[in-house]
Chain A
Amino acid sequence: MTAVMGTPMKRKEDPKLLTGEGKFVDDIQVPGQLWMGMVRSTMAHANIKGIDTSAAAQMPGVHSVYTGSELADMDLWIAPLPCVWPVTPDMLNPPHYPVAAETAHHVGDIVAVVLADSRYEAADAAEQVVVDYEVLPVVASLADAVAGEKLAHQDLGTNQAYHWALEPAPEAVEAAFASAVHTVKGEFVQQRLIPAAMEPRGVLAVPSPHGGELTIYSSTQVPHILKVMFAATTGIPEQKIRVIAPAVGGGFGAKLNVNPDELLAVTLANRLGRAVRWTETRSEAAFSTHQGRGQHQTIEIAADAEGKIQAVRVHLNADMGAYMMLITPGVPVLGSFLYTGVYNVPAFGFTCDGYFTNLTPTDAYRGAGRPEASYAIERAMDMLAAEVGVGPEEIRRRNYLAGGEAFEDLETASTLVFDSGHYGPNLDAALEMAGYSDLLAQQQARRDAGDKKELGIGLCTYVEICGLAPSRALAGLNYGAGGWEAGTVRLLPTGKVEVVSGSTPHGQGHETSWSQIVADKLGIDPNDVTVLHSDTAISPLGLDTYGSRSLSVGGVAIAMACDKVIDKAKQIAAHQLEANLDDLTFEGGSFSVKGSPDKALAIQEIAFGAFTAHNLPDGMEPNLNEQVIFDPPNFAFPFGTHVAVVEVDTDTGGTTLLDYIAVDDCGNQVNPMIVEGQIHGGIVQGVAQALYEVAEYDADGNCKNPSFLDYLVPSPTELPNIKTGFTTTPSTSNPLGVKGAGEAGTIGSAAAVINAVCNALKPYGVNDIEMPATPMRVWQAINEGSQG
C-alpha cells in the first residue's frame, strides 16, 4: 500500500454533487410542511405602534400570522438569541429575540411571521401585513455610532458596547514611540461585506408530536452548536433535539450563527406539531444573515533608523451592527493577536471599542478579524518601507521573527506562542515565482515610456491563527465553549471502516481527507473508509467547522483514534499469534512477527476477531471502535507570501488583476489538491474585498445593494489564473504537523492587492486607497493626489 496522505486524491464527495444527487436543505420535502414568510422591518430604527395582519390572514394557503408581541406571549423562548463571547464582563448586550415586539433595530429585523402552505403563498401573505412604525433616529454607520449623537438602542444610553484592551507593556510602547526615528500611521476602513455563500441559508424543523423529538435540517456549519443553543434558548430538552446539516453550499462564517429564523422554525414546529421551513432569498440575505468586517483601524509603527520595528500600537472601532450575534464581539478580539504580523515587535498595544449601529449584525466572515489585522500591518509595512526608503521586501526581511530563520514555539509580543515559522525562504520562493525583479523592470519601463497604464506590484507576508482552539486559551478570552474536536474510527466486521467526524464540512472535502488519513494509518484502501458527519444523532460529539480548525483539530483526533485502534489490534494480534508485543510490527495493514514473516494477521482479520470476541485477551472489550477527543495544546500559525500584480488605467481608474502568486505554508498537507482549492477561493474573496465588494448603506440605514445585481461578487472574467506554491514547516501543535488552509488566502490577498494598487500609483503621490478600490476612488486619488 503506497502512501495516500499527501497525494491529490480525487474527492469522494464529487459524484453526488456533480449529478444533483446531493441534497441541500431546500431539496428536502416533508409532507404537511408550512413555509415561513418573514415580515421584515423596512425601517432601521422604529417603534412598532401596531401591526394589522387581517388581510394577510385571509390570503390563500395561509395557516397563521404571528406578530412579535403575539409570539412573546406564547412563551416560546426561555432566553434571547445567544452571544457566547462576552469579551468583557461589562459588555452591553441588549436582549435579541427572533421577532422584535416593540422596537425594530435594523432594516430586516423580523416583526411578524406568516405560515403558509407554499413558498409563494408565504411570500404573498407577508407582503399583506401592514406595520405602523414610529421612526426613531438611525445610527446608519460606524462613524454615526462613535459620534454618539443618535443611539442605536435608546435604553442603553450609549452606542459603545465594550472596550477591550491587550496592552501587555504600555510603558514600553510609549517609550518606543518617544525614541523612534521613523513612525508611520495608517488609518484603514474595513468595509462591511456580505458573505454570499452560493446556497442561501435555510432551515426545516420536523417535529414528532407524540414522541417529542425534533429533527432540524439546517444549512449550517455548526450542527452541534445549534443543538445545544436550541435547547438553551427554547427549553426543549437537549436530548430530544437532532440537528442535521445536509449538503451545505458554502459557509465562510455566515453559517456559524444561531439565527432568528432557525429559532422560529424550531419553536413553531414544536408548538404546532407540523414541519416548518424557510429558505432565504438572495436579496433577503443582506438582512437575514450576518455580515463581515465593519471596522475602522488606526495602526502606528515606531521603528529605528534601519526600519526595525520598536513598537506597534493599534486602535479599532468595530461595528457590531444592531445586536450581538453568537460571536460578534469576539471577531475583532480574535484579530488582535495578529497586528504584529510575522515581525519581531518588541512592544505592542491594542485597544478595541465595539459599537452598536442600526445595521445588520456583523459576525465571522472568512478570516474573522485576522484578514483585518493582516491588512493593517501589511499596509503599514509598505508605508514604513516608503518612510525608511527601502523596498517592501527589504523592510519585511529586516523585521521577520527569528530573522527569517526557522523557529519553533516562539513567544511574540502579542502574548501568543507561534508554533513554527520560517519566513525568509517563503518570501524568496514567492519573489522568484513572481519574477519580482523583472516585474520591477517592467514597471519602470512603462513609466519611462509614459504608459498611462501603470503596473503595480504588491506584497503581503501574512500569518494567521487557526486550529481553534486550545480550550484553556478560549477560557482566557471569555469564550463560552471549548475548542476540542472528536473523532471515532470503527472497524466493521467485514474489515471496512466507519469514521465519525465531529467537524462538519461545507465544501472542504472532509470525506476525502479523513479517508486519506485513515487509509495511511491503517494501511488500507481509502475507498474502504466511509466518513459519517453532520448529524448529531450519528456524530453526537463535535464543535464543528470554523477558524480553519477541521484538519488541525478534528483530523488530528481521527489520526489519534487510528493509533488507538492499532494499539488495541496489536494486543489482539500478539494474543492470537502467541507473540510478544515488542516482536510485532505493523506495516501495510498487517501485523507480523519479526523474524517470522509467515506469522501475520491483517487488520481486517483482527477486526473480525474483535467482533466475534471468541479469542480476545482476558478482560478486553470486543470490537475495534475508538474515539479521541483532541484538545490542542496550542493554535497553529500558517503563513505565506502573496504577490499581486495589477494594472491601473490612470485615465479611467480601472484596476485589473493581471497576476497573482501565492506561496503558502500550512505545514504538512493531507491532500494538496484540496489545499490548493482552498487557497484559490480564499484569495478571490480577499481580492473581492480589495476591488469590488461593499455593503453600502444610505443615511436611513437601508442597504443599497442587497442583490447580486449590484453587490459585486466577482465573476470568472475579473480574475486571472492563480499561481500557487508551497513551503512546508510542520506545526508543533499536533502530531500530524498540520496547520490550516481555509482562511489563509483571504488573510493574505486584500493587503497584497491594495499594496499593488498603491505601488502603481506611487508617482501620483497616492499613499492609500480605501477598499474597495473602485475606478471612481482610484481616479479621484490620481486626480486629487494623496488619499493618505
Chain B
Amino acid sequence: MATEYSIRMGDGKRVYHDKKQIMDDLEAGIADAADLGEISGLSSDETERIAEIIMLEGRMVGVEEGKEVPVTHDISTLRIDGDQGNSGVGIPSSRMIGCMMHERAFGADTMELGHIDYSYKPVKPVIAQECQAMEVCQQNMIIPLLYGAMPNMGLYYTPDGPFENPGDLMKAFKIAEAQESIEKSADHLTRDMIWIMQHLMRSASDGVNFDTTGAAGDGDMYSTLHAVEALRKEFPNMYIEVGMAGECVLGMHGGLEYDGTTLAGLWPHQQAPLVSKAGANLFGPVVNTNTSKSFSWNLGRAVTFIKAAVEASDIPCHVDMGMGVGGIPMFETPPIDAVSRASKAMVEVAGVDGI
C-alpha cells in the first residue's frame, strides 16, 4: 500500500492522500489556474517541488536558509484584544500594545494601525482619535507603521450609505442606474480615502494599506487606484500597499477602466501592473481557496496564479496568506501544517517577495 500523507481539505478537514493523489490534485489545480488566467502552468520540476513540500515530515515547515522574506501584518492591531469569534484572541490590551507585540514579539517587519470596523468610511467621523493613536504608536515603535483599512465600497450603498444599491437596481433591470450608482459611490469613496490619509500622513503615518481592494467589485478597485494615484502625487515618499480581496475583480459595473484597461475580470497578473502604474510600492495578490477541494489542488492553483503575478509585477508582491486564501484552508484558526507549507511553496516556487 502506498504511503499516505496527512493533508487538509479546503475547509480544514484532515484527509490522507498518497503521492499519486497529491500529484493529480496539484496538476488539476495548476491546470485550472492556467485555463482561467490564460497563463503558463508550472513545470514538472515545480510541481514535484510543491509535492515534496506537501509531503515533508513535521507538522510545521520553514523556508530554506537564505530564502527568508519580510512578513507584514494587517488587521493584527486588533487581533490581540479583539474577540469577534473569528481571528481575535480576546486578551485585554490596546491597539498600541497589539502593534508593539507584533513588532517586538512576533517578528513583524511592518505593521498597520486599523480601526475596529476596518473600513475607511467609519474612520471619517473619528479621524482625530485615529490621528492621535497613530502619533502615540509611532512614538513607541521602530518598524514602518502604516494606516490600513478596507475600501469596502458596499458601505456607500443603501442601507448603509447614500447611493442606491446597484444589486437591487440590477435585479430591476435598471442597469444604467446601477452603473451610475457605482460611479458615484466610487467617486465618494476615493475622496474619503484621500481625505483620511491626508490627515494620517500629517500624524506621522509611514503610509497606507488598502486592504481587500475590489471587495465590492470593479468600482471598489477603480476608486482605490485613483486614491493611490492622488496620494502618490501629494506624498511622493509615502509607502503604499494595495492588497486584493479576491483573485478576479468582480464586474459589478463592467465598464470601468483604469489607464485604458477594463478592471472587471482582471486576474492577479493583470492587476499587478495597474497597481504599480497607479503608484503603489507593494502589491498583495490573492488567490481564493476552494473549500471543497484538497490542499494540493488549492496550493497548485494558488502558486500558479501568484507566480504569474510576480513575473508580471515591477513592484514587490507580498502574497496574501491566511484563512481562505493562498491555498490555506478556510478555518477560524488556519492549521499551521497548511499555513507553513503554503508559505514555503509561495516563497520557493512562486518567488514572492514577502508575505
Q: Do the two chains belong together in a single complex?
A: no
Binding site for A on B (CB under 8 A): none
